[in-house]
Chains A and B, each alone.
Chain A
Amino acid sequence: MTDNARPGPGRSSDDPDGGPPGRPPTFTSWLRSRSDGELTALLTARPDLAQPVPADIGALAHRATSRNAALRALERLDRFTLQVLESVVALGDDRLSEPVGAQPAEIARGLGLTPSGAAGEDPLDEALDTLLRLALVWPDHGRLRPVQVLRELLPHPAQLGPPARALLAALPHGTAKRLADDLVPHSTATTPVETVATALSDPDRVAALVSQVGAPARRLLDNLAWGPPNGTVSDARREVGLATASSPVEELIARSLLVATGDDTLTLPREVGLYLRAGVLFQDVSTAPPAFEGRQVPPEAVSRAAAGQAFTVLRAVEELLERWSQEPAAVLRNGGLGVRDLRRAAQAMDTDEDTAALYLEVLRAAGLIGTDNRVAGEWLPTREYDLWRERSPEHRWLRLALAWLDSDRVASLTGSRDAGGRVRNVLGPGLVRPAAPRARLDVLTEMAGAEPGLAPEAGSLAARLAWRRPRRQSPVHTELAGAAVTEAAALGLTGRGALAEHTRPLLTTEGAAAGADAAAEVLAAELPQPLDHILVQGDLTAVAPGPLVTGLARELALVADVESTGGATVYRFTEESVRRALDAGRGVSDITGLLERHSRTPLPQALRYLVSDVGRRHGRLRTGSAGSYLRCDEPALLAELVADRRATDLELLLLAPTVVVSGLNRAALTERLRQLGYHPVPESGDGTMRLSRPEIRRAEPEPAVPDEGGRAPELARAAVRALRAGDEAANVARIPVSLPEGGTAGSRANALMEVLADAADGGRRVWIGYTDTDGRQVSRIVEPARVDGGFLTAYDTTRDAVHRFAIHRVTGVAELGDGG
């Protein structure tokens, strides 16, 4: 693309395709002349232009120069590129006198740059390249012109006023006429405005005019020279001639060195400003962002700290979701999570409430929590969560990190009040900030520019962001960027204030997901990998010296109580915990087997005794519901029970040496027996044990937010293909086939079908006008295959596919000219 940056004098850039000579070059024709690769680059850099894919190049040009699209493009420019663009706008304004456009050399002079010899290293070259790639400027006969809309968007480029022609045109005719008569008595120009504007376009003339005014007037000019270019004065529109000028202001007005733009506003014309500045546009030009200032941390320490945080996040959210599996939190009426539930979640995750809010938002963005759709709804882990848990830790983390990067919700707004004074709840409404993902990407990308291990100071980072994205600076953006820094640290994307190595691959232009695999690889090396062994000790505890594989962790949590969590997990075996496992259907040998398999140390005798003791007692008694009976293999135990004075309310009757019936219903009986210290097991009708196990509940994931799209180059390439075909359809030479106007609708349709059928027979391509299902008028070049049932089946070159068109929607048909 470099060849377009500075069109050489020998090349006419208006018709590179050899189009009709003499036709004035336009932005659209330049755009059409761009190569497919260049258009792909444009659509990749400005994805909003391809949504939806414009019908042809004209539509693309129209969209590219629309106010909103241009604003969005401006946001992406860094300060230097923006200065270059302002220079093009300032010098290349088509209201300045001929020739229209700014020459690169002029721009370089305006910016105070000396062009460097080596190609590709010149910052100005690079900036112009960027602007051409973004189609914000276009070349015209070796000069660069800004797209029209920038005139509005940058009304005072480089703090310069509008060109004299624009200012003078707004004056009453009489005023302009008098100025013209005063300044250029015998003008040949067509209008007074032209006369004055042409005069001012000559720096020598301006110099002469300036030299005529007195020192006070000169000081006034100097004050306005570096902008803002407006000054306030009473009665700005006063009638002053060269002869009648009595004050410094009037001297200037009379020489049109200042032009009235309001009842009390005078503006310095651009030409005059440029003269006063001696052609310099900016006093302060920095071609590179300010250097980073901050603390240097060993890069290993950064990665370790970040990975540690990543690990902490995983552990915390898993802890919470396991808890929510059984005791979900209630959904507020506004859809959020209550303050008390947030506090409880923070406790479960062992963190503060702000961080807890962040984790919850990320979990939702990642589709790991959702609500069941009941009236009194509850927040639950989704089915996705089960799959997620089975993945390796680095992939689990990546899912969260990617969700955060894409999410437009800002957790730090939790607890603040909206315009109506209502407190915003986490997971509730009012937390959406569409600019948030961009702010996060900006912050991280900027940090990636620092040396590995450099933790930039907040001020330094802000200064660089301000240089990188000057148009995005606002209190809201600053707040979002600040939140992004905090959140990135809390999620483990940064460590000790510097960007972690595993975050770097996520910051590619292709989008974060493209770098996920590389990131996973880096992170995996830092994260503690799940273990499958534990250490069992004589005080009836087991220590898992690291995270456990999911299956083992769940089994252990069933057999033993978790006593402390952190890098390791400490489990304690108690009678209750062992009974819980037995209740859930594990046998004594299952439990000891599990522990023997996974314990690195021999099982202590005390633990074997505990398990077998509980196992021995567990289920010795069995309760039944059929008439409520008790049976037991040991007559003595039943005798003991029947004799138990505390058991009189059970109304027990010894039925047989091993069977007792009770007058209570089974539930009450079981409950009472447990209170008495027995461990009965309920029986089902066929005499087998009934097991109880806590049920784990799940919700459906929320539908994923569609990808931002357009980022991926394939999409952009496909868009360009469609564009080209559309453009051809719109512009190809065609010979309209006349269709009967009026008459019956049927006759017109018949005529149409005849033409199309004929084309199908002859294998010719035809142009058709068509009203699509959205009611838009589109044109297509099609190769009809057959016509039947009111439909035309044809190969559509725009879409590169066979398509069926309803005949009644075809608005016109044309044979293609030779070019087609």
Chain B
Amino acid sequence: MSCLIVQSDKTLLLEIDHELAPECRRSIAPFAELERAPEHVHTYRITPLALWNARAAGHDAEQVVDALIRFSKFPVPHSLLVDIAETMDRYGRLRLVGDPVHGLVLESSDRAVLEEVVRARKLKGMLGDRLAEDSVAVHPSERGNLKQALLKIGWPAEDLAGYVDGEAHQIDLADGDWELRGYQREAAESFHAGGSGVVVLPCGAGKTIVGAAAMAMTGATTLILVTNTVSVHQWKSELLRRTSLTEDEIGEYSGTRKEIRPVTIATYQVMAARRKGVYTHLELFDAKDWGLVVYDEVHLLPAPIFRMTADLQARRRLGLTATLVREDGREGDVFSLIGPKRYDAPWKDMENQGWIAPADCVEVRVDLSESERLAYATAEPEDRYRFCSSSETKTTVVREIVERHPQEQVLVIGSYIDQLDELGERLGAPVIKGETRNKERERLFDAFRSGELRTLVVSKVANFSIDLPEAGVAIQVSGSFGSRQEEAQRLGRVLRPKSDGRTARFYAVVARDTLDQEYAAHRQRFLAEQGYAYRIADAGDLLAGEEI
């Protein structure tokens, strides 16, 4: 009896308390996406993308089937094994290769597949002349679109056409009081070996450093795309600290400044900005002969950037993210345009190794007062969520929680400005929201980082990519309805390792028996599935002074 159960919907259940579980996990991780990791049984899913990722990483169907048969507790349905072998077999039947005469060529050893592809409607205009029985010319500009389209019709192409080296630029990792952690080196190396692809690491695990290491290995001019301006500055200071790059070598390309330097950091926003229907900053991609393009938070990559990326297929591309789950379901585009997954590590494993802070998640349930309930019941449907999630009663509870952590840096996160303003006022803390100027934001962040400021109230502008190393406590008072990804990002705020190894606290304050509770349940599902079991506490007990 072993530890793996294969389900008919191609999910794999792994009993993690089993003695063979670690070995089994190592065997199945290359070809199955970890979907849920609660405390006893982890769920992996075998998807075509995951299988192709495995193929791209050099695993073959035999290994996959062997792993399933070896670890499966019950006999594996034969049809499923056949299906896996067939799916994996589809990857690499078609190869994109560079040809000295014809430039880019799509070739295949399987004529039938090539015939099917050549006749496919979706590929009209992407393919050029038939060169031989087993090869057809490809317009170089269609390299990305073709890969995208081929994935959609189920014949993902292996891109062996290589990369341009770009303009060389020496980048070294700086010596100092730090060194590359093992998994960071591994991630950078496996990316470099593949040429392009995605590295999946939890928040706080040092994705920026993986980026820096990849840049050092590539040794070429680099374009870095990040989510917002704060993030630009973060990357910049991190690169200055970790690499031999100097201030003059790093340019910032944002709404306010338009510098183009050997290493340029730009925001998605500015790249996606349009004037009269035209992308005005496209020339950035051609401004230099980039040797590497880094996409931070690849799961947030907006659609226009995908389109631009399709034209960048000859350059090395590194995607960094905490999760491959995209709320818009465009995982396939990430696979075909950025590249296959090159590295992945489960959150809990990282935590066990001490690379990210352990977290304690508590849901505090607040009873609405009778008058609030009456008001909630009579509220217009579109206002109901706002009403319950920003109820008066919550403020009292938040204050109580803040007071319970006198020694900690506390971050209060919410979505509704009115509520945040009120909280700021009651807690005597500054509020960072959309209208707060960048300069002011950074001043406040610096003050918070230095410990000068103990409590900070932030809106969802703080969701991504700001580094708050010492935030030991986060209190979430309201969220964007039910976004799973947002919850993960917010938890990520407190997961950076603490200097003294304390446990991070994550509070979600929720109004009982309302929409708030429903949405909270949905958001938390993602974290529960990552193994962060929520404790539930009653606000009444909390206010009565009970320990939680």
A residues engaging B (CB < 8 A)? 304-305, 307-309, 311-312, 350-352, 528, 535, 537-541, 543, 545-546, 564-568, 570, 601, 604-606, 609, 613, 617, 636, 639-641, 643-645
* Chain B positions 405 through 416: 1 when the CB is less than 8 Å from some CB of chain A, otherwise 0: 000000000000
- Minimum Cβ distance to chain B for residue A676 (Å): 9
Check if A640 sits within 8 Å of B373, measured CB to CB.
yes
Interface centre among B36, B38, B40, B533 (most CB of A within 10 A): B40
Contact of B38 among A541, A545, A567, A640 (CB under 8 A): A541
Check if A539 sits within 8 Å of B528, measured CB to CB.
yes
Q: Does B360 contact A (CB under 8 A)?
A: no
Residues of chain A lying within 8 A (CB to CB) of residue B5: 545-546, 566-568
Check if B7 sits within 8 Å of A535, measured CB to CB.
no
**Residues A537 and B41 in contact in the complex (CB < 8 Å), given A606-B536, A640-B377, A644-B378:** yes
Q: Does B79 contact A (CB under 8 A)?
A: yes
**Residues A566 and B15 in contact in the complex (CB < 8 Å), given A309-B75, A311-B74:** no
User: Please, how many angstroms separate the alpha-carbon atoms of A539 and B373 in the complex?
Assistant: 28
Contact of B533 among A311, A538, A565, A613 (CB under 8 A): A538
Q: Does B73 contact A (CB under 8 A)?
A: yes
- Minimum Cβ distance to chain A for residue B508 (Å): 12
User: Please, how many angstroms separate the alpha-carbon atoms of A601 and B75 in the complex?
Assistant: 26
Contact of A643 among B74, B77, B374 (CB under 8 A): B374
Interface centre among A311, A528, A568 (most CB of B within 10 A): A568
Residue of B at shortest CB range from A541?
B38
**Residues A545 and B41 in contact in the complex (CB < 8 Å), given A568-B5, A644-B378:** yes
User: Please, how many angstroms separate the alpha-carbon atoms of A644 and B381 in the complex?
Assistant: 12
User: Please, how many angstroms separate the alpha-carbon atoms of A304 and B73 in the complex?
Assistant: 11
- Minimum Cβ distance to chain B for residue A314 (Å): 12
User: Please, how many angstroms separate the alpha-carbon atoms of A617 and B517 in the complex?
Assistant: 14
User: Please, how many angstroms separate the alpha-carbon atoms of A639 and B377 in the complex?
Assistant: 11
Q: Does B143 contact A (CB under 8 A)?
A: no
Contact of B8 among A352, A543, A565 (CB under 8 A): A565
Q: Does B504 contact A (CB under 8 A)?
A: no
Q: Does B525 contact A (CB under 8 A)?
A: yes
Contact of A311 among B75, B525, B528 (CB under 8 A): B75
Q: Does B172 contact A (CB under 8 A)?
A: no
Check if B13 sits within 8 Å of A568, measured CB to CB.
yes
User: What are 10 A-B pairs at a CB distance below 8 A?
Assistant: A311-B75, A564-B7, A566-B7, A566-B11, A566-B77, A567-B6, A567-B7, A605-B534, A641-B377, A643-B374
Check if A538 sits within 8 Å of B72, measured CB to CB.
no
Residue of A at shortest CB range from B532?
A538
User: Please, how many angstroms separate the alpha-carbon atoms of A350 and B405 in the complex?
Assistant: 54
B residues engaging A (CB < 8 A)? 5-9, 11, 13, 15, 36, 38-41, 43, 72-79, 370, 373-374, 377-378, 513, 525, 528-529, 531, 533-536
Check if B75 sits within 8 Å of A564, measured CB to CB.
no
Name B's interface SS. mixed
Contact of B75 among A308, A609, A640 (CB under 8 A): A308
Give the A-B contact count at a CB cut-off of 8 A: 109
Residues of chain B lying within 8 A (CB to CB) of residue A546: 5, 73-74
Interface centre among B5, B78, B528, B529 (most CB of A within 10 A): B5
Contact of A539 among B6, B38, B74 (CB under 8 A): B38
Contact of A545 among B13, B43, B75, B378 (CB under 8 A): B13
User: Please, how many angstroms separate the alpha-carbon atoms of A541 and B529 in the complex?
Assistant: 10
Check if A537 sits within 8 Å of B40, measured CB to CB.
yes
Contact of B11 among A535, A564, A601 (CB under 8 A): A564
Residues of chain B lying within 8 A (CB to CB) of residue A639: 374
User: Please, how many angstroms separate the alpha-carbon atoms of A539 and B5 in the complex?
Assistant: 19
**Residues A308 and B36 in contact in the complex (CB < 8 Å), given A606-B534, A643-B374:** no
- Listed from nearest, the 4 A-B pairs whose CB atoms lie closest are A308-B75, A566-B7, A538-B533, A567-B74
**Residues A305 and B75 in contact in the complex (CB < 8 Å), given A537-B40, A539-B525, A564-B9:** yes
**Residues A308 and B528 in contact in the complex (CB < 8 Å), given A545-B5, A565-B8, A568-B13:** no
- List 8 additional A-B contacts (Cβ < 8 Å) besides A307-B75, A538-B531: A537-B39, A538-B534, A539-B529, A545-B13, A565-B8, A617-B513, A636-B373, A640-B374
Residues of chain A lying within 8 A (CB to CB) of residue B536: 605-606, 609
- Minimum Cβ distance to chain B for residue A679 (Å): 11
Residues of chain A lying within 8 A (CB to CB) of residue B38: 537-539, 541
Residues of chain B lying within 8 A (CB to CB) of residue A640: 373-374, 377
Residue of B at shortest CB range from A316?
B8
**Residues A528 and B13 in contact in the complex (CB < 8 Å), given A539-B36, A605-B536:** no
Residue of B at shortest CB range from A319?
B8
**Residues A312 and B13 in contact in the complex (CB < 8 Å), given A545-B41, A565-B7, A605-B536:** no
Interface centre among A564, A567, A601 (most CB of B within 10 A): A567
User: Please, how many angstroms separate the alpha-carbon atoms of A305 and B513 in the complex?
Assistant: 50
Residues of chain B lying within 8 A (CB to CB) of residue A308: 74-77
Residues of chain B lying within 8 A (CB to CB) of residue A351: 79
Check if B78 sits within 8 Å of A644, measured CB to CB.
no
User: Please, how many angstroms separate the alpha-carbon atoms of A352 and B13 in the complex?
Assistant: 24
Residues of chain A lying within 8 A (CB to CB) of residue B535: 605
User: Please, how many angstroms separate the alpha-carbon atoms of A88 and B373 in the complex?
Assistant: 102
Residues of chain A lying within 8 A (CB to CB) of residue B525: 539-540
Interface centre among B9, B39, B75, B76 (most CB of A within 10 A): B75
Residue of A at shortest CB range from B4?
A567
User: Please, how many angstroms separate the alpha-carbon atoms of A305 and B534 in the complex?
Assistant: 41
- Minimum Cβ distance to chain A for residue B532 (Å): 8
**Residues A535 and B40 in contact in the complex (CB < 8 Å), given A545-B73, A567-B6, A567-B7:** yes
Check if B378 sits within 8 Å of A643, measured CB to CB.
yes
- Minimum Cβ distance to chain A for residue B1 (Å): 9
Check if A566 sits within 8 Å of B73, measured CB to CB.
no
Residue of B at shortest CB range from A616?
B513
Check if A604 sits within 8 Å of B75, measured CB to CB.
no
Residue of B at shortest CB range from A610?
B521
User: Please, how many angstroms separate the alpha-carbon atoms of A356 and B7 in the complex?
Assistant: 19
Contact of A567 among B72, B378, B513, B533 (CB under 8 A): B72
User: Please, how many angstroms separate the alpha-carbon atoms of A543 and B37 in the complex?
Assistant: 13
User: Please, how many angstroms separate the alpha-carbon atoms of A609 and B76 in the complex?
Assistant: 37
User: Please, how many angstroms separate the alpha-carbon atoms of A242 and B194 in the complex?
Assistant: 97
User: Please, how many angstroms separate the alpha-carbon atoms of A540 and B536 in the complex?
Assistant: 13
User: Please, how many angstroms separate the alpha-carbon atoms of A304 and B377 in the complex?
Assistant: 59
Residues of chain A lying within 8 A (CB to CB) of residue B39: 537-538, 601, 604
Residues of chain B lying within 8 A (CB to CB) of residue A606: 528, 533-534, 536
Check if A350 sits within 8 Å of B8, measured CB to CB.
yes
User: Please, how many angstroms separate the alpha-carbon atoms of A601 and B16 in the complex?
Assistant: 13
- Minimum Cβ distance to chain B for residue A561 (Å): 14
Residues of chain B lying within 8 A (CB to CB) of residue A601: 39-40
Contact of B7 among A307, A311, A570, A644 (CB under 8 A): A570
- Minimum Cβ distance to chain A for residue B16 (Å): 10
User: Please, how many angstroms separate the alpha-carbon atoms of A309 and B8 in the complex?
Assistant: 13
- Minimum Cβ distance to chain B for residue A86 (Å): 44
- Minimum Cβ distance to chain A for residue B360 (Å): 13
Residue of B at shortest CB range from A350?
B8
Residue of A at shortest CB range from B526?
A539
- Minimum Cβ distance to chain B for residue A595 (Å): 14
User: Please, how many angstroms separate the alpha-carbon atoms of A617 and B512 in the complex?
Assistant: 12
Residues of chain B lying within 8 A (CB to CB) of residue A539: 36, 38, 525, 528-529, 533
User: Please, how many angstroms separate the alpha-carbon atoms of A351 and B370 in the complex?
Assistant: 54
- Minimum Cβ distance to chain A for residue B496 (Å): 24
Check if A535 sits within 8 Å of B528, measured CB to CB.
no
Check if A568 sits within 8 Å of B76, measured CB to CB.
no
Check if B528 sits within 8 Å of A540, measured CB to CB.
yes
User: Please, how many angstroms separate the alpha-carbon atoms of A768 and B397 in the complex?
Assistant: 108
User: Please, how many angstroms separate the alpha-carbon atoms of A506 and B77 in the complex?
Assistant: 24
- Minimum Cβ distance to chain A for residue B303 (Å): 31
User: Please, how many angstroms separate the alpha-carbon atoms of A115 and B204 in the complex?
Assistant: 89
Residues of chain B lying within 8 A (CB to CB) of residue A605: 533-536
Check if B6 sits within 8 Å of A566, measured CB to CB.
yes
User: Please, how many angstroms separate the alpha-carbon atoms of A528 and B5 in the complex?
Assistant: 12
Check if A543 sits within 8 Å of B378, measured CB to CB.
no
User: Please, how many angstroms separate the alpha-carbon atoms of A567 and B13 in the complex?
Assistant: 9
